[in-house]
Structure 1
Amino acid sequence: MKRHANLSVFVPHKGCPNQCLFCNQRRISGAVKEPTPDEVTALCERYLPTNGENTEIAFFGGSFTAIDRGYMVSLLAAAHEFVKAGRAGGIRISTRPDAIDKEVLGVLSSYGVTAIELGAQSMDDEILRLNKRGHTADDVRKASALIKGAGGFSLGLQMMAGLYGDKNPLETAVNTAREFIKLSPETVRIYPTIVVEDTELCDLYRKGEYAPLSVDEAARITSELLIMFEEKGIKVIRVGLHSDESMTESAVAGPFHPAFGEICYSLVMRRRLEEKLCGRTGAAEVRVNPKDLSKLLGQSKSNVSYFEAKGVKLGVKADESVPQGAVKI
């Protein structure tokens, strides 16, 4: 089976009616210039194979359906040519929950859009207000219902953990995940809040008015969410921000780690193994899929050390017959 991939086109800070507390989209996207339709065409010509059924052209970086309608259509039209030619399987866009209605869904459908991601970030209205999101949790519910009801679209939801004003990050994140699950998204992205240079959140951090999550705190929260979504068959397609050069340079504080996803999945594997062990001690022969070997061992064999401290000596073997994500003893 060929791996699914995105060809990303960044439309930096376009369409956003306000500047969220945590956001400097020009830094996050690593781009300032607005792409033209010709540039979208050139990018697709260069990177899309002859048969790209497993590739989506993805417009990220801002609120795509809130940008100038003519400009939006011109970008979609350029990308749609490659969908019609079979060089891409569809088009994915990211937008605000309050920038979705039946009319715009009709436009998106006519230009080959197959996936819509909503930047929900939280389902707590007070936290949304404090972070100047400009929309409510109910906007997320309404937009999700419209997308699901329209047919032909995959719904994606994006959430953040440890936002400004969140006094109980784990509880808030779990509640947001529960609300997401009710909306039946196909995919979810989980982003721990990072303090980025040139943002209002950065000013609050430097004044001592905001304390970001540590890597360990963010990983523990995220691992809980991963388990919740997996149990409901919802695919988590991204954990943490990409650790590219522009993000590395602009991140001031917070749980920004190049192996953040691996750390989170290691905690998930730890939980599964604990459940299998049921409190037993002594030697334990554990089998996992080869792709999960490093996750079970943990960063610097942290899981091995963890279980040793509990009186369990692990013997870990890779076994192709074990399903990915499973642990067998």
Structure 2
Amino acid sequence: MSRVETGQGPFVRNAWYAAASSEEVGQGLLARTLLDEPLVLCRTGAGEPVALQDRCAHRFAPLSLGQRCGDEIACPYHGMRYGPDGVCTHVPGQGTVPPQARVRRYPTLERYGLVFVWMGEVGLADAAALVDIAQYGQPGWGLSRGHALFHACLDNILDNLIDPAHTTFVHQRTIGSDAGAQVAVQASLEDEHTIVCGRWVNHAPAVPMVQRFARPGGLVDRWQFYRVRPPCTSWVDFGSLPAGSPHTPQAMDAAPYRVLSYAFLTPQDASHTHYFSFQLRNFAADDAAVTTEFNALYKATFDEDRVLLEAIQREEERAPGTPPVRIASDAGVARLRRLTQALREAEQPPASDQASTVRAISPS
């Protein structure tokens, strides 16, 4: 399999993908497309989130257009009912149910105010594969949230989220400034699953977000560490200390301004991506007004990325296959692309198996 340089490569399926916020999934039927697969989401009476293939086994009518019958879903076309396990339980007008009358049920996991769906092999679904966030729900950490649908592919969005250098030019109204323009970015593997790319910008004026909420009395040292765990999770550790402070984990924990921004990215298809996000902040944790302001400021920040990424998407669609020129700040992007490629190849059968499959399905 050749490495993808532009556009969206094959989806990695063995992963937890955010499908909806917890609030979106209720007793009604929610239609959502993930990785080009139509799903219907709902909750059982006991509160368990359920994700089923959104296609009746009979004539493929979308189940999301049907009705709830207790914990079952009735198809809008002929009333066939499906249980939470995806098995048809009733066919109006006949006493038996064909054994093949079933739809796929996807494993679900609810955490961090989101409902996640495992889109790959059911036997590989493991709750431990979802990133662990120690600060979530802990005292002293405020929470803000957002969701948007980008007309941009997942691969390009992740490139953006392993790239601290762009903040100097794209986000000067919020988290960037000219002070970082000449500061090199360092990229490395934090562990076998996670890439980290970041830098310290020292003895510089505070960026607008820090000025607004921390009100430093002078110059600051600020850090930006971008982490990506492919295929679909990103988090950014951003904070500020008085200039000359120690750059230790202890000092960062006690900083007057620190925000951990998480993004869970789910392709709708090869050119549209759901961007579920939340921010954990170490100040004004219980201040509803600050939360409201944070929601607006981070929406504005992500919109700045969205406008550029959607423009890039249009250009890639106009001139597919045009190779990009790489520069020094793309070190994290290069590592990310290699790691994602390894995940894709791990999900593909060996070439000999592929040949056997082709022979098996080819007409004699």
Query: Does the alignment reach a TM-score above 0.5?
Result: no
Normalising by the smaller structure, the TM-score range is under 0.3
TM-score scaled to structure 2, two decimals? Answer: 0.24
Structure with larger Rg: 2
Higher relative contact order (CA 8 A, sep 6+): 2
Structure with the larger strand share: 2
TM-score scaled to structure 1, two decimals? Answer: 0.26
